Amino acid sequence: MSDGDSGPSVLVIGAEWFEDQPGGLMRYLVGLVPALVRVGVTVRAVVLGPAQRAPAAFWPVSRFDAPLWRRVWSVYRGAVRGAPSAEVVDVHFALYGLLPLLSRALRGKPVIVHFQGPWAAESTEAGQASRRAAVKRHLERAVYRRADAAVVLSGAFGEMLARDYGVDSGRIHVIPPGVDLDRFCPGDRQTLRGDFGVEPGAFLVVCVRRLEYRMGIDVLLRAWRMVQEELPGARLIIAGTGSERAHLDSLVSLLPCPVGVQLLGAVDDDRLVEMYQAADCSVVPSRSLEGFGLVTLESLACGTPAVVTDVGGLADGVLGLDPSLVVASEDPNALAVRLVDAARGALPTGEACRAHAETFSWDGVAQRHLELLGSLIRAARQRRLRIVFLDHCAQLSGGELALARLIQALDVDAHVLLAEDGPLRPLLEEAGATVHLLVLGEGVRDLRRHRVGLRSVTQAGRVLPYSLRLARLIRHLQPDLVHTNSLKSALYGGLAGRLAHTPVIWHVHDRIAPDYLPASAIKLVNTAARVLPRAIIANSAITLASLDGLSRPAVVIPPPLPLASEFVQHLDGPLRVGMVGRLAPWKGQDLFLRAFARAFPSGEAHAVVIGAALFGEDGYAAELHGLVETLGITDRVDFRGFRQDIGAELARLDVVVHASRVPEPFGLVVVEAMAAGMAVVVPDRGGPAEVVEDGLTGLTYRMGDEGSLAAALSKIAADPVLRKQLGDSAAAAVARYRPEVVATEVMAFYETVLGR
């Protein structure tokens, strides 16, 4: 519900206004919307105009006779305009509902669809080309499957919606329609019969239907031949227009008494009421595709019994009154027998008909809708966000490990779409995510950042089809947001999100700077950042500052610590100085080893290198082994290789060094070491420098300066008291990086981006 004591607010997407283009769907809206207003619902109903006499709750847009594209676009714009105040979206016609449901403005709001008939099937029965009918069917399915709840007027249409459109039966609600009991009421039958030129004692039957094949008017006329043979003075009045008019005229001409049948064509609402009031009974002879038949209730409300066929939900309107009012469809003999019996008095009384109709009041219908609206709003507030995370990589590098930790801490329905299989997949599944593989070609997936340029342009032919496939999968999953976790996934995922009409958040872990990316890549990323994402998360201030000219909402949220960091235990023994990270020249393991040899030319101090060459940098790993031999420290350096349990490795260290030669975007291992209570030594530029306060929670040195790093190591090794003080202060300083804290910030940003 809305704030305070007010009721829920609903955006209704309808079709034509009833007085401009009469029909059952439009008449239903005319009854439902005012009733919803009476029970406290705030309604904005977008309909096609001019709708000059529509109540204030209706918003006319365009004209009902405008070109199709203009009608669709006008309804879309009207829906977007009404979206901010709406808590629920209620679609009454698939054609006008699809585009609004794909818009950002309505995303995340509960959706009701009213299914009053299979549009495509009706078109097929009317003789429309199968290709056009197939397009309508696809459009219907796209709308109905997006619904959180579907309202049908009868159980028969509920079964059809589940069977033919694949809608979950648990989301289908049967709510029969109402009838305007003030407008449709008993009248002066004898006087009105005279107005229609009917003799006082004649048996008068009326039929109000569109003159189309599925309405079965031809069956009624064949039955009427038999009625006239039994009751020569019986009169039949048919109101409505349609493609069958000429055929029906020919059938009337063949009757024993053609003058006993009138085809009035279109009649206004007042004349319609008078027809029901004048008649002895009405007939609804449909042969297919009837959801309920509002005309049945209108007739009964006027005190006039209705004979209906057993098609769809027609029987639902009369079974509680008199089951004999239902006859087999397409059986003129059965219909004729029932009408002759009716003429001889086998009908419910007018009082009984009226009393039965009063059980179908619009206020009662509105009350059931109010209950449904309340349940949808409550469920929406309790529903977990569905987030699709994208990553091109399935290796256990920093950004990917951070993704697994974040998902484990978030309270969301997480789906991860990976462009390759790898060790990250089981880690994500353990974190509670559903993992989908949509493999991207190696040429694109493994393209190194320093090769972005002409070669990357040649790969665009592979990226575009992949983005299209990805967009289809995103549309199928129907997430609230797409969250990309790497620069490559930001580009192809940002495009896919646009195609799927789903907001995208870029999570940027890399600095967009010349010392990290070539100029062509910087230009590409900065241009895309202005177009593709709805918002951006950066892992540090320096990362965010490297993005040029942002026009999107952006926030700095650090990656979370591992959940087990707080359980690290330290060991006694010789000083152990370590560096953690994948082996790559820019990471600076060679700088660390030279500085270590310079700070500790002899003694028991050990250097520990944790990490492996993950992305084709095996040559650099070999160079490091050669370097320790040259430096003469082979027996005091331990290469540990890749280790998944970083906490266990940190337990064996006393000091952790970060030695990147270019500013690191964040440096998660530094925070992990600080959380474990260790002294850290980091460069004076980049993400680690944002985390470490020199002399209080760690030591800093001049980036890339071997002598400065060696001096810091010597200082920290010579003063065990300082080392302990730095470690204790560091552990207290990194509380904001705990998973639950980071997850809270991310969730809050999700809600901000979604406009909640």
What is the mean predicted confidence (pLDDT) over 605-622?
84
Spatial strand order of the sheet with 576-580 comes to 637-641, 606-610, 576-580, 655-657, 679-683, 699-701
List Cα–Cα distances, 144 to 135, 238, 464, in angstroms: 14, 34, 29
The residues spanned by each domain of the chain are: 9-174, 189-356, 384-556, 565-737
* pLDDT tens per residue, range 545-599: 998 877 789 999 999 887 544 444 455 678 999 999 889 898 999 999 999 999 9
CATH 3.40.50.2000 fits 9-174, yes or no: yes
Helix and strand numbers, DSSP H then E, in the chain = 30, 26
CA angle 723, 724, 725 (to 5 degrees): 95
* pLDDT tens per residue, range 623-665: 999 999 999 999 999 999 888 777 778 888 899 999 999 888 8
Q: Is the pLDDT of residue 3 over 70?
A: no
Sorting pLDDT into bands at 50, 70 and 90, what band is 672?
Answer: confident
Report the SS3 class of residue 161: helix
Give the Cα separation of 493 and 689 in Å (integer).
31
Pick from 669, 689, 692, 748: nearest CA to 399: 669
Kindly give the residue spans of alpha helices, DSSP state H, lying in 388-518.
398-409, 424-430, 442-445, 454-458, 460-477, 487-499
Contact 268, 27 (CB under 8 A): no
Average pLDDT of the chain, as a whole number = 89
CATH code of domain 565-737: 3.40.50.2000
**Is 565-737 in the same CATH topology as 9-174?**
yes
Least confidently predicted of 189-193, 243-247, 732-736: 732-736
Which residues neighbour 502 within 8 Å (Cβ) at sequence distance 6 or greater? 107, 388, 474, 475, 479, 480, 481, 482
Give the per-residue pLDDT at 440: 87
Kindly give the residue spans of alpha helices, DSSP state H, lying in 600-705.
618-631, 646-650, 668-675, 687-691
The reported pTM is 0.65
* pLDDT tens per residue, range 142-167: 899 889 999 999 999 999 999 988 89
- The enclosing H or E element of 706 equals helix 706-718
What is the mean predicted confidence (pLDDT) over 194-199?
89
CATH code of domain 384-556: 3.40.50.2000
Class of domain 189-356: alpha beta
Give the per-residue pLDDT at 460: 54
Provide the token pair at 152.
């049908």
Give the Cα separation of 114 and 29 in Å (integer).
10
Give the Cα separation of 99 and 511 in Å (integer).
38
**pLDDT top residue among 280 and 379:** 280
Phi and psi dihedrals of 48, rounded to 5? -80, 140
Beta strands of 22-93 (E only): which ranges? Answer: 42-49, 58-63, 88-91
Report the SS3 class of residue 388: strand
DSSP string, 188-241: -HHHHHHHTT--TTS-EEEEE--SSGGGTHHHHHHHHHHHHHH-TT-EEEEE--
